[in-house]
């Protein structure tokens, strides 16, 4: 029956049965899944994991699901690439990239949604919903299609057409909300309260968020059962960052890896960096901001897990870096030109933060470092569009040679 036993409030510790709720009725703190760790530890071994499927479902014992079928589009176990070219550029000899661009809907959000969809089915829901400006919408719509569930996807009305297409093609009902960002937020919370739907990042959030732990597990397994010295992770709500740390620590507690001395470095775009700002000011209170950045996938002004992310920085002796929009674009290009990986703006943020950490000496040249690349560049082509300038030629050799000369 799986090893998840209950939900527990992160603030007051009250426990709740495994139901579709995300907030403690008592203190309004966020709920988190609790597992029977002893029973889990008696079953889970490296061999058992290695003989599992070549997807993130090889870690199903550590995820909050039962024994039935899972809603899977073949998510996870994405490549961990030794990035020697980028490493040379940055002065890092032991740099790896975790490439989550190649997930079924081209971002790491498939990891959280495959868990959310599976749990939603187990809980008896027939409808999956989310509020999204892109990545999550596609992941929810695709998994609902595979599961034979209805899907409702809420988007701000001013969203670019291509982002809508990336979700609409899977056949969900797309709702374009004509209102401010805050109003869209409010509406979605109200819908989640009053319709009997599985809203993946609202009433299913405790289960959903657990999916991100697999980005910690996979990296540790792919490194030959060890944790990296450094991880560089993009932060929007802060959930991914917190869960990678949790995943590594669970692996250590289960005896699958020896120790975790990973320094967790978070990266945000300067135009939406409430967590970095709190860290820099030395406070644990994250002040919401109005996002203004090209890194739309990280534009969450009021991050649900900001406080817990700050705790992870402290616990892991990590750091927090904010980079400008220009650096985001430089980061995308640097990654593409050195490693042949076209990633979206979140990765531009990570690569530029990584560059700063390498230059400042926060990451040493020989230390084992993993940078997380969480979404595909085809989703945010507009930010590098200007650099696509083909050499225009007539269909003659002369014209072609001339063009080459002109290019210099």
Partner 1 sequence: MKRRVKFSFPTHLVQEPIIFQLGKDYNVVTNIRRAEVTDVQGWVVMELEGNDDDIDRGLDWVRDRGVRVDPVGGDVVES
Ligand X SMILES: Cc1ncc(COP(=O)(O)O)c(C=O)c1O
Binding site for partner 1 (CB under 8 A): 11-12, 22-23, 26-30, 109, 130-136, 154, 156, 181-182, 184-186, 188-189, 192, 199, 201-202, 236-237, 285, 287-288, 296-306, 346, 375
Q: What's the start-to-end Cα distance of the chain, in Å?
A: 66
Strand bridging mode 230-234 / 263-269: parallel
| C-alpha 392: how far from chain center | 39
Q: Which stretch binds Zn ion (CB under 5 A): 10-18, 78-86, 91-99, 170-178?
A: 10-18
Q: Which is nearer to partner 1, 133 or 316 (CB)?
A: 133
Q: Which stretch binds Zn ion (CB under 5 A): 23-31, 138-146, 266-274, 394-402?
A: 23-31
Number of residues that bind ligand X (CB under 6 A): 18
DSSP summary character for residue 284: S
Residues 271, 342 contacting (CB under 8 angstroms): no
Is 7 a residue that touches Zn ion (CB under 5 A)?
Answer: no
Residues 351, 335 contacting (CB under 8 angstroms): yes
Q: Which stretch binds Zn ion (CB under 5 A): 3-11, 36-44, 78-86, 341-349?
A: 3-11
Residue 9 binding partner per list ligand X, Zn ion, partner 1, none, with a CB distance cut-off of 5 to 8 Å that depends on partner kind = Zn ion
- Candidates 322, 317, 344, 318; CA nearest to 331 is 344
Is 232 a residue that touches ligand X (CB under 6 A)?
Answer: no
Site string for Zn ion, 29-68 (x = CB under 5 A): x---------------------------------------
- Compute the least distance from the CB of residue 202 to ligand X, in Å: 14
- Compute the least distance from the CB of residue 318 to partner 1, in Å: 21
Question: In a 3-state reduction of DSSP, which class is residue 171?
Answer: coil
- Compute the least distance from the CB of residue 26 to Zn ion, in Å: 5
Query: Applying CB under 5 A, which of residues 4, 7, 24, 144 lies at the interface with Zn ion?
Result: 24
Looking up tokens 């003989």 gives 51
Is 131 a residue that touches ligand X (CB under 6 A)?
Answer: no
Q: Which is nearer to partner 1, 86 or 153 (CB)?
A: 153
Is 9 a residue that touches Zn ion (CB under 5 A)?
Answer: yes
Q: What are phi and psi of 371, to 5 degrees?
A: -105, 130
Query: Applying CB under 6 A, which of residues 166, 234, 291, 348 lies at the interface with ligand X?
Result: 234
Helix axes 109-122, 135-147, angle to 10 degrees: 40
Residues 138, 117 contacting (CB under 8 angstroms): no
Looking up tokens 């799986």 gives 2
- Compute the least distance from the CB of residue 203 to Zn ion, in Å: 16
Q: How many CA atoms lie within 13 A of 83 on its CB side?
A: 29
Residues 61, 43 contacting (CB under 8 angstroms): yes
Residues 212, 243 contacting (CB under 8 angstroms): yes
Is 295 a residue that touches ligand X (CB under 6 A)?
Answer: no
Q: Which is nearer to partner 1, 310 or 358 (CB)?
A: 310
- Compute the least distance from the CB of residue 12 to partner 1, in Å: 8
CB environment 130-141: b (16+ within 10 A), e (fewer):
bbbbbbbbbbbb
CB atoms within 10 A of CB 157: 10
Q: Which residues bind Zn ion (CB under 5 A)?
A: 9, 11-12, 14, 24, 26-27, 29
Q: Which residues bind ligand X (CB under 6 A)?
A: 107-109, 135, 234-241, 297-298, 344, 346, 374-375
């Amino acid at each position: 029956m799986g090893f998840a036993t209950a939900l527990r409030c992160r603030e007051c510790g009250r426990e709740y049965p495994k139901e579709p709720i995300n907030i403690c009725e008592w203190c309004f703190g966020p709920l988190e899944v609790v597992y029977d760790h002893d029973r889990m530890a008696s079953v889970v071994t490296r061999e058992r994991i290695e003989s599992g499927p070549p997807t993130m479902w090889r870690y199903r014992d550590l995820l909050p699901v039962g024994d039935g079928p899972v809603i899977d589009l073949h998510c996870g176990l994405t490549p961990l690439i030794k990035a020697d070219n980028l490493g040379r550029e940055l002065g890092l000899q032991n740099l790896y990239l975790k490439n989550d661009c190649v997930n079924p809907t081209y971002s790491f959000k498939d990891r959280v949604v495959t868990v959310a969809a599976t749990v939603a089915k187990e809980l008896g829901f027939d409808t999956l919903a989310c509020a999204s400006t892109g990545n999550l919408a596609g992941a929810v719509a695709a998994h609902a299609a595979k599961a034979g569930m209805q899907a409702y996807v809420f988007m701000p009305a001013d969203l670019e057409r291509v982002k809508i297409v990336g979700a609409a093609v899977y056949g969900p009902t797309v709702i374009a909300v004509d209102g401010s960002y805050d109003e869209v937020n409010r509406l979605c919370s109200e819908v989640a309260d009053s319709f009997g739907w599985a809203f993946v990042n609202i009433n299913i959030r405790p289960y959903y968020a657990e999916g991100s732990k697999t980005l910690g597990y996979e990296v540790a397994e792919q490194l030959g059962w060890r944790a990296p010295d450094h991880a560089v992770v993009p932060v929007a709500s802060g959930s991914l960052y917190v869960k990678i740390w949790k995943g590594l620590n669970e692996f250590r507690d289960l005896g699958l890896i020896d120790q975790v001395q990973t320094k967790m470095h978070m990266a945000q775009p300067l135009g939406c960096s409430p967590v970095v700002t709190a860290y820099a000011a030395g406070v644990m209170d994250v002040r919401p901001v109005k996002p203004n950045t090209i890194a739309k996938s990280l534009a969450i002004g009021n991050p649900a897990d900001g406080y817990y992310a700050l705790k992870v920085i402290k616990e892991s002796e990590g750091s927090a870096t904010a980079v400008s929009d220009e650096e985001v674009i430089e980061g995308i290009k640097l990654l593409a030109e050195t490693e042949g990986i076209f990633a979206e703006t979140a990765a531009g943020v990570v690569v530029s933060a990584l560059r700063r950490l390498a230059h400042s000496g926060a990451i040493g040249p020989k230390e084992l470092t993993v940078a997380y690349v969480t979404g595909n560049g085809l989703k945010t082509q507009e930010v590098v569009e200007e650099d696509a300038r083909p050499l225009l030629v007539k269909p003659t050799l002369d014209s072609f040679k001339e063009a080459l000369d002109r290019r210099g």
